[in-house]
Amino acid sequence: MDLYLRTGIERFLELCYPLFKKVLPFQVYAYMAVGGINTALNILLFIIFFQWGLPIEGFVVLGYSLASYSVALVLAFMITVPTGFWFSKCFAFKIAGNNGTKTIAQLGKYFIVVLQGLGSDYVLLKLLVEFGDVYPTVAKVLSTAIVLVVNYLLQKHFTFRTNIQH
């Protein structure tokens, strides 16, 4: 299954790349393409959890109030971290290597970067919702767009850094 899925995604990326070849290096294009899929999944999960899966009034846990949008953010994050790592490692940063020890180190770095992204996403989401009076779903899309740019740079230069950058 993994081989068929990987081959299908690689073929799709190669098929569409000529449209972007003049403006984007392949690595940036691949990161944007597979990152876009993972981001869409993250936003879709956020919407499902926030709009339909969680009580709008939020939760009280050990005396602390938790907003439903905060819980939805964390749940969507937990599901899309593994898919995001797989997408990044297999398609955007293939040159970074594939041996077991290196993959574990990359996974650790990836998790640090995505935790930073989650923290940034949370702060931006909270600011937009509570101080900007932006609806949570719209705020999520805006905060995600900002965090994605920072995450790409960190993934490229920290997580999947190689001696030879293309």
Domain that holds residue 21: 2-159
> From first to last of its 166 residues, what are the pLDDT tens digits of the chain?
677 888 998 999 999 999 999 998 888 899 889 988 998 999 899 999 988 887 777 777 788 887 888 888 889 989 999 999 988 888 888 765 566 677 788 888 888 998 898 899 889 999 999 999 999 889 988 998 888 888 888 888 888 877 654 4
Q: Examine residue 131 and state whether it is found in any structural domain, yes or no.
A: yes
Tally DSSP H helices, then E strands, for the chain: 5, 2
Q: Examine residue 164 and state whether it is found in any structural domain, yes or no.
A: no
Q: Examine residue 77 and state whether it is found in any structural domain, yes or no.
A: yes
Domains identified in the chain, total number: 1
Q: Examine residue 166 and state whether it is found in any structural domain, yes or no.
A: no
pLDDT of residue 166: 45
